Structure 1
Amino acid sequence: MAELPAEMTAVEITAPGGPEVLKPTRRPVPVPRPREILVRVEAAGVNRPDALQRAGAYPPPPGASDIPGLEVAGTVVAAGAEVARWAVGDRVTALVSGGGYAEYCAVDAGSALSWPAGYDAVRAAALPETFFTVWSNVFDRGGLKPGEALLVHGGTSGIGTVAIQLAKAFGATVVATAGTAEKCQVCRDLGADVAVNYRDEDFVAATKAATGGRGADVILDMVGGDYVGRNYEAAAVEGRIVQIAFLRGSKTTVDFTRLMLKRLVHTGSTLRARDTAFKAGLAAALEDKVWPLLAAGRLAPVIDAVLPLADAARAHALLEADHVGKIMLTP
């Protein structure tokens, strides 16, 4: 094994603020704990939680790196004493609680997966945050079943593009919302049965029309605000609404009558602070049920841009502007 450097280049948040507060710096190379592997990062994903952390609204959980970045792909260069599955030289992609915007990243061994067959580092690194999130929320918490209908807001976001593809792969009808005609076409190209331009169409009416008046069995919402009450209208009887973000705010006024009359479940979750055993369980489910679909080309991450690690500030500006799918960094 080649000797590892003592220091690495990483991108740190110099102060809460806009994209410009992201600056390259030098940090010590992490030392893996007994159940961790050390990955030489070849690509890392950029996600909304990174921007929230940068703005000072989403601090890392206790014990996590303060360096942003929640997903990486690369080569294992060291392994802790209790790691059995992975060895130096293995190529892995992994969900992490922080530390992805760097040349090296310590990863819990249970949160790592092999690259799907035929994948390179960029495509492999584009998988964990969105696929772990969608599987946990749409299929585990939301309980989406074949033959049911999913309404997904933000259909061209990283989460949205994955939710559309996974729901279709597992036999659901999909209604997706997006903000332009071009983005609606992207949703349809990914498999959405109906794409709704939320700027000039009513997603409640469109969802009911697409389901014969029944409504959506599962709604994946990252918007919040006034969408909460409208989601209750769009939901089917016994529907499940899963909240994963609040782009329009976490406070609103809601009439809960429909929640009662339709026997709805409104739940939500965050993933970053969940324990390693929970994330390992998600990794195992994805490896069993989803990784074969990726290898077969039935699903694929949608990648908007690939930028050098030093351009993390520009990547965040793109994230908060107009993009489709994932934005990636390469050290």
Structure 2
Amino acid sequence: MKAILMTAPGGPETLELADIPMPELPGPDYVRVKLHAAGVNPVDTKLRKTAAYYPDRLPCVLGCDGAGVVERVGANVHRFTPGDEVYFFNGGLGAEQGNYAEYTVVHQDYVAFKPRHVTMEEAAALPLVLITAWESLVDRTCLAEGQSVLIHAGAGGVGHIAIQLAKQIGATVITTVGTPEKAAWVTHLGAERVVAYRDADFVQAVLDWTHGRGVDVVLDTVGGANLCRSFSCTRVYGRVVTLLQMDCPAEAIRLARLRNLALVQELMLTPTLLNLHEQRVHQRRILEEGARLVEADKLKVKVSHVLPLEEATRAHRMIEEGHTTGKIVLRIV
């Protein structure tokens, strides 16, 4: 079968189109999926640069997000039959083959039925960003109806899903973006206040919007100074969740402590990396709930570019340039 192999740590040029053996079912609880599309995420580019989780497993296939059709099922599989359309977060971290390929195998407990009435490309764009946004806002910070949330980079992959989830919860949203076009789009998604971070200080904008109180919750998808400055506009006893490593100067940490902030780190890869079965099942249930929201027209994913599988290198370059809105997807069939 055709697949994109990461041959060594390094730049996008280390990705090569190759023929590799068809994956066999590793056990009776697995399904084999004929992949139609694979989502491309920033984590793919970071893993490609360093091979952090699999330095001894190269070459390997990247890609955590997949959507396709069940082609074969193991003897114990009871949730699916051949022909079912599915989507999932699985593989791409070293131990399990990723989704930049024509076929993959997945444990049945980690697979969800694809949302109806959306394309395979849209389904493949959802898993990582949906799980990340859900775990950040629902599981980790317990965002509640009537509360306020600052979502950084609202036009990004996680950001645009997080805005919609926050609105479903009943929260009010302020978000940061880089261009007027992105501002118009996130307003359409439901954000009540949009800050063009190149033209305005988001801290002051948040404080003005909340009459000096600060927001109840911050979702940081940027890291660095962006995260550290967010402490100043989070309400006392508020909650801050970041997708990046916390590396703030001592004065920022002292401010967070003074304001009694709960500082939370979100890494949705943890269940896969630590082989935590129940937590992976929970992530599948998030995908099932997300599918219900999509089918009820309450959640939409934006796919900005669909590229053929053989253009994975281009997809990685586009992500690293940092100007995309929504998600990039590889079309496999």
Q: Same fold (TM over 0.5)?
A: yes
Is 1:52 matched with 2:50? no
Does 2:11 match 1:10?
no
Partner of residue 21, structure 2: 28
Q: For 2:299 and 2:255, how far apart are their aligned partners in 1?
A: 35
Q: TM-score, normalised by structure 2?
A: 0.90
How many residues of Structure 1 are paired with residues of Structure 2 in the alignment?
Answer: 320
1:313 maps to a residue whose letter is T
Equivalent residue runs for 1:78-157 within 5 Å:
78-98=72-92, 99-157=98-156
Change over 3 Å in CA distance of 1:307–1:94 after alignment to 2: same
Correspondence list, 1:264-283, <5 A? 264-274=261-271, 275-283=276-284
1:312 equivalent in structure 2: 312
SS of the equivalent of 2:149 reads: strand
> Quick one: distance in 1 between partners of 2:285 and 2:134?
11
Please give the alpha-carbon distance, in whole angstroms, between the structure 1 residues aligned to 2:18 and 2:224. Answer: 37
Give the CA deviation at 1:60.
4.9
Structure 1 position 115, deviation (Å)? 1.5
2:43 is the counterpart of 1:43: no
Return the letter of the residue paired with 2:49: A
Please tell me whether residue 325 in structure 1 is matched to residue 321 in structure 2: no
Aligned partner of 1:28: which letter?
A: P
SS in 2 for 1:238: strand
- Aligned CA distance change for structure 1 residues 262 and 182 (closer, same or farther; 3 Å): same
Where does structure 2 lack aligned partners over 5 or more consecutive residues? 93-97
Supply the distance in 1 between the matched residues of 2:151 and 2:268 (Cα, whole angstroms).
18
Seen in structure 2, the aligned counterparts of structure 1 residues 62 and 38 have a Cα distance that, compared at 3 Å, is farther
Aligned Cα RMSD in Å?
2.0
Q: Specify whether residues 191 and 281 from structure 1 end up closer, same or farther in structure 2 by C-alpha distance, changes over 3 A only.
A: same
Contact 1:97 1:272 in 2 (8 A): no
> In 2, distance between residues paired with 1:205 and 1:77?
54
Q: Residue 249 of structure 2: which of 246, 253, 256 is its match?
A: 253
Give the letter aligned to residue 106 of structure 1: V
Please list, as runs of the form range in 1=range in 2, the aligned pairs for 1:168-183 lying within 5 A after superposition.
168-183=167-182
**Within 2, Cα distance between the matches of 1:186 and 1:90?**
33
Could you tell me which residue of structure 2 aligns to residue 296 of structure 1? 296
Q: Distance in 2 between matches of 1:231 and 1:108?
A: 39
Counterpart AA for 2:90: V
Report sequence identity in percent: 37
Give me the whole-angstrom Cα distance separating, in 2, the residues matched to 1:244 and 1:263. 20
Kept in 1, the 8 Å contact 2:148–2:173? The answer is: yes
Q: TM-score, normalised by structure 1?
A: 0.91
Counterparts of 2:134 and 2:55 in 1: how far apart (Å)? 22
Per mean C-alpha deviation after superposition, the further-off stretch among 227-236 and 251-260 is: 251-260
